Amino acid sequence: MNVAVLISGTGRTLQNFIDEIAAGRLDARIELVVASKPGLRGADVARRAGLPVEVIDRRAFNSDAAFGDAVTRAVDARSVDLVLLAGFLHLWMFPDRYRGRVLNIHPALLPAFGGKGMYGRRVHEAVLKSGARESGCTVHFADHRYDGGHVILQRKVPVLPGDTPDSLAERVFEQEKIAYPEAVRRVASGAARLPPP
């Protein structure tokens, strides 16, 4: 599978894909990394790995649609089978030809603790505040809603007494490292498909 990876942060998920591919556990090639602003650590991760990086600064566009069009042009310019949202904080209104070919990962058990503004530390804070006894991660087909779309797989972790947002985040991320490559393998094999509209 040729993939594009869209990032807005440190690139931990991108690094995991790089490591999984290098270890031979994920049969994929990263054709493009799109960074949503300059200076991201994730872009440095990509460059160190010799991957092509395109910076598309969200702040340079006056609408989500214009930004999304720029992202689409960048992805269209490559031969890409799947687009992997990896901590990408913006809603990409991708064209219909990408339906079923865009995946996202969320650090909670959707539909709980998802939606606009629910990302990163905010998610883990909300989980702890709710008193939930478990959390985890969800990989899903992306659609045009924040954290919407058909679920491919989830992995769970317990919420432990004394957990902080950081300790919970680390436990969830260990499961993300397993779940996201597995979801890509399922899509590549045809075991996971987006249901008809």
Each of the 197 residues of the chain gets a pLDDT tens digit; together they read: 999 999 999 999 999 999 999 999 999 999 999 999 999 999 999 999 999 999 999 999 999 999 999 999 999 999 999 999 999 999 999 999 999 999 999 999 999 999 999 999 999 999 999 999 999 999 999 999 999 999 999 999 999 999 999 999 999 999 999 999 999 999 999 999 988 87
Cα-atom radius of gyration of the chain, to the nearest Å? 16
Instruction: Report the Cα 115 to chain-centroid distance in Å.
Output: 14
Domains and CATH numbers, the chain: 1-98 (3.40.50.170), 105-137+152-192 (3.40.50.170)
Kind of pairing, strands 29-35 and 82-86? unpaired
DSSP category for residue 9: S
Q: For the chain, how are helix, strand and coil distributed in percent, rounded to 5?
A: 35, 20, 40
Catalytic residues: 106
